[in-house]
Structure 1
Amino acid sequence: MRHTLFAAVAAMSLMVAGAASAQMVHYTAKLAGPAGVKGSGDVFAMLDGKTLTYTVNYKDLTGPAVAAHFHDATAPGGNGPPIVPATVTPSPIKGTATLTDAQIADFNAGKVYFNVHTAANPGGEIRGTLAKQ
């Protein structure tokens, strides 16, 4: 009887753990600038439920990063307003944010990009669209 109960509890634990990890979604992006800009970087993000955790690595910018954020584009590859600000630090930038259902849908549809701004390129020096992994 005890072995049966133990097996049932173990099986339930595995099912709950599997369901929890099924909610985790990973996204990545390569950051690059227009021709003549040698800056580059990458974004690694994980969505667990509605909590986004991210790390952004960047290098070779024309100067210090002055702003950085996730933008929501109207279409993949398009431009849009910032939706998740990032606290600018020397590389890497790390942070967390709580997303809305609409933002999650746009992340999954490939409509979100990350942009790093510098004084020389205030509109954004390097950017990359996040892709669901």
Structure 2
Amino acid sequence: MVTHRSFTKSLFATAILAMGIAGCSSMQASNKVTLTAQMTAAQEVPATASSGTGTAEAWLNKDTNLLTWKVSFSGLTGPATAAHFHGPAAPGSNARVVVPFTGTTSPLEGQATLTPAQAADLLAGKWYANVHTAANKGGEIRGQMVPKM
């Protein structure tokens, strides 16, 4: 026979177990790093006169090196012709394309699996997001990717 007291104890134990399982899943999330960038014309090298702006947000799973991103932009001098991550480069320096984005219409979303060296450069702040236009073939807006604390 189940008494009210044993039912309450069982319900309490189930709640504690559920909280423990939820706590374990949140520990796994610590292997995911969020990176962000505010993209502006002033960060381009050389700087452009564009009034365009943008944001890049990315999430790196450190266990699998899977990088997922969302890049949004507006106010460009014309339609975007290309956009991608470049690296490795410190702010104020240019570098080659390391991960191209699919499409040219904001927002851009995608994912790629990085090599260990690419993941290390990204986490060290050596990648930047870049959006190109016909008027600014070398890049119209840019932002250095930095881990969000």
Q: Which 4+ residue blocks in structure 1 deviate beyond 4 angstroms?
A: 5-12
User: Where do 1:78-117 residues align within 5 Å?
Assistant: 78-117=93-132
Percent of pairs identical after alignment?
44
Aligned length: 133
CA radius of gyration, larger in: 2
The yes-or-no answer on 1:24 pairing with 2:32 is yes
Q: What TM-score does the superposition give when structure 2 sets the normalisation length?
A: 0.77
Deviations 1:24-58 (A, max 9, x none): 10000000113521111000111123111111110
Deviations 1:81-129 (A, max 9, x none): 1111101232111111111111111111110001101111111111000
Over aligned residues, Cα RMSD in angstroms? Answer: 2.3
Measure, in 1, the Cα distance between the counterparts of 2:20 and 2:114: 29
8 Å CA contact 2:54, 2:71 repeated in 1: yes
Q: What TM-score does the superposition give when structure 1 sets the normalisation length?
A: 0.86
User: Structure 2 vs 1, CA of residues 28 and 54 (structure 1 numbering), >3 Å: closer, same or farther?
Assistant: same
Higher share in strand: 1
One-letter identity of the residue aligned with 2:34: H
Measure, in 2, the Cα distance between the counterparts of 1:82 and 1:8: 49
Structure 1 segments unaligned to the other structure (5+ residues): none
The yes-or-no answer on 1:56 pairing with 2:109 is no
Measure, in 2, the Cα distance between the counterparts of 1:77 and 1:115: 13
